[in-house]
Structure 1
Amino acid sequence: MWQTVAVASVFFPGLFALSIRSLGWIAPAWSLKERIILSGRLVSSIQAVMATTSGMIVVLNIDDVIHGRHWLACEYIWIVLPYMVYDVYIMYLCHWHKCQEKGTVERKYSLASVKNFLQRERLMVAHHLFILIVLTPVTTRLRGELGDFFVGCIFTAELSTPFVSLGKILMQLNMQDSLLHKVNGILILVTFFLCRILLFPYMYWAYARYAGIPLYQAPFRIPMHCNVSNALLIAPQLYWFVLICRKAVRLYGSSPAKSR
């Protein structure tokens, strides 16, 4: 446990620093803000691939969705923990540099700067804090030795993240009108819907199948804290999915005639 936390605590910041330095060699004309934002997105994508791969390994290697065990279901949680702390800091760093570019003169790490960040990114920060404060103890202690399958399912929710990051990177590179950006937009919609929305009904279906009961009875057969956790997890996903759909309408809804 502590070795995993220590390695992850060094790995993600180290990868971020390496990316910033590498981009300084590859694209010396880029500003520090541009390199920080792109590096944050690259590291986020790498973590998402790691989480999705771990989740798929867990899900595909467990037959008993309640009592089945796989070591990755517990071990990867200790990677997620330092990553979430790192990610909140990187979000703040990106936020501060964007504000500086707009002419804001707040000192870095000042109370006003942190307050402004928390106001602008309150949903994302709340999501990270929920994972740290609620989901981590539930998945590592409170559930005992039950439900590795469902922990693996939650890991696969990260499948959409590399496509979301790629979309932002393409916009950063002024490639928002490219075919790649449009194809990537479709992949964002599909992967987000499958792995962040349909994932939750699928988990209830998997339990109903295991218990031999109708799907509608599944929420009433599992502990209340599981239903509450699922509700708190899916609520922001639904909000973000609506935002993604709105962007998709703007991206695909305008005809070439309108754009000219």
Structure 2
Amino acid sequence: MLLTLALGSLFFPGLFALCTWGLRRARPAWSDSDCVMISTRLVSSVQAVLATGSGIVIIRSCSDVITDRHWLAREYVWFLIPYMIYDSYAMYLCEWYRTRDRNHRHSLTTFRSFLSKNRLMVAHHAVILFALVPVAQRLRGDLGDFFVGCIFMAELSTPFVSLGRVLIQLKQQHTLLFKANGILTLTTFLSCRILLFPFMYWSYGQQQGLSLLQVPSSIPFYCNVANAFLIAPQIYWFSLLCKKATRLFDPPPRQKGQLGAPGSQAVRVPPPLSIPTDQIVPWVASALWVLISRWV
């Protein structure tokens, strides 16, 4: 445990420092804010790859979803704790660099601005550190390594989310890479952060000879409550991603009129029928929530 904590405490800050140093040398025209932000995204992607790989190994090694064990299910959680602490500071550092022109010192105002803009992510990290870590390391006993591996798999979407943020930072929203990455982000986020929960219920049902709809009533009530709390922010974030995606793939606005022959008046072309994005996204999120509720 202590060795794993020490390795994580050295690995993630060290990788961040190395990436920042390398970017400053390789791209001297980039600002400090760009280098710090991109380095943060690179470290997040590396952690996501490690977590996803650990999850795959754990899932493949657990034929019994309840009792089978794998050492990574506990050791990687210890490795993850330093990352969560580092990432919280890295997010604050990005905010400080972004506002450094207005305030060169670390101040309470900067910290409040950071909390205001990142309150959901800070809460996410706090829940992992103070709730999920005790559950994963102590309260669950020797059961459920398979489900810990499934939770690790939720990180599969992180590299694509990070790449999207980097492309936005570099003003590359118009590129084909950005659009393709947006599709991959939606796909991986939906499959590994939302549909992951019905998959865990289904896997337990297969083990116990139950149908998917019978599983919620056959497991402790607090398990359903915990899963509801875990999936709720994922659905919210997915709705935000859908909203951004609809804006990304919306066709450019057409001109209301077009010029005809010389001397003729402009002909007004009626706009195509469409549903406003603000109405589409809540409807999609609500429909998805109802569908998942029926599944689980």
| TM-score after normalising by structure 2 | 0.83
Quote the residue 1:8 is aligned against.
Answer: 8
Quick one: which amino acid aligns to residue 175 of structure 2? S
Other-structure match for 1:27? 27
Is 1:219 aligned to residue 203 of structure 2? no
Among candidates 194, 199, 202, match of residue 202 of structure 1: 199
Q: CA deviation digits over 1:48-90, x for unaligned, max 9?
A: 0000010011111111000011111111101111100110100
Identify unmatched segments of 5+ residues in structure 2. 256-296
Are 2:148 and 1:155 equivalent residues in the alignment?
A: no
Q: Counterpart of 1:90? A: 90
* Larger fraction in helix: 1
**1:165 maps to which residue?**
162
2:100 match: secondary structure? helix
Which residue does 2:105 correspond to in 1? 107
> Deviation string for 1:83-129 (max 9, x for gaps)?
0011010011111222234x3x2731x33322221122111100110
Find 1:185's aligned residue among 171, 182, 187.
182
Choose 1 or 2 for highest CA Rg: 2
Does the 8 Å contact 2:37/2:94 carry over to 1?
Answer: yes
* CA shift in 2, pair 1:106/1:113, >3 Å: farther
Letter in 1 for 2:74: C
Specify the code of the residue in structure 2 equivalent to 1:9.
Answer: S
- Bigger shift: 187-196 or 226-235? 226-235
TM-score, L = length of structure 1? 0.94
Q: Which amino acid aligns with 2:148?
A: V
Aligned counterparts of 2:5 and 2:231: Cα–Cα separation in 1: 27
Q: How is 1:48-127 mapped onto 2 (pairs within 5 angstroms)?
A: 48-101=48-101, 103=102, 105=103, 107-108=105-106, 110-127=107-124
Q: How far 1:225 moved relative to its partner?
A: 3.0
Q: What is the Cα deviation at residue 170 of structure 1?
A: 1.3
Q: Is the 8 A contact 1:135 1:229 kept in 2?
A: no
Offset at 1:254?
A: 2.1
- Structure 1 runs (4+) greater than 3 angstroms displaced: 255-258
CA distance in 1, matches of 2:104, 2:29: 25
State the partner residue of 2:41.
41
Q: What secondary structure, in the 3-state scheme, does the structure 2 residue paired with 1:150 have?
A: helix
Shift of 1:249: 0.2
- Which of residues 229, 235, 246 is equivalent to 2:243? 246
Q: CA deviation at 1:241?
A: 0.2
Higher mean C-alpha deviation, range 174-183 or range 113-122: 113-122
For the Cα contact (< 8 Å) 2:9–2:83, is it kept in 1?
Answer: yes
| Distance in structure 1 (CA, Å) of the matches to 2:235 and 2:226 | 15
Which residues of structure 1 form unaligned runs of 5+? none
Aligned positions, number = 255
Greater shift, 200-209 or 215-224, is seen at: 215-224
Give the 3 Å change call, closer, same or farther, for CA 166–256 of structure 1 in structure 2. Answer: farther
Determine which structure has greater relative contact order: mean sequence separation of CA pairs < 8 Å that are 6+ residues apart, divided by chain length: 1
Superposition deviation, residue 180 in structure 1:
0.7
- Between 1:230-239 and 1:189-198, the stretch displaced more is 230-239
Displacement of 1:256:
8.2
Contact 1:106 1:113 in 2 (8 A): no
Give, in whole Å, the separation in 1 of the partners of 2:132 and 2:154: 14
Contact 1:106-1:112 within 8 A present in 2 as well: no
* Overall identity of the aligned pairs, in %: 57
Change (3 A) 1:255 1:111: closer
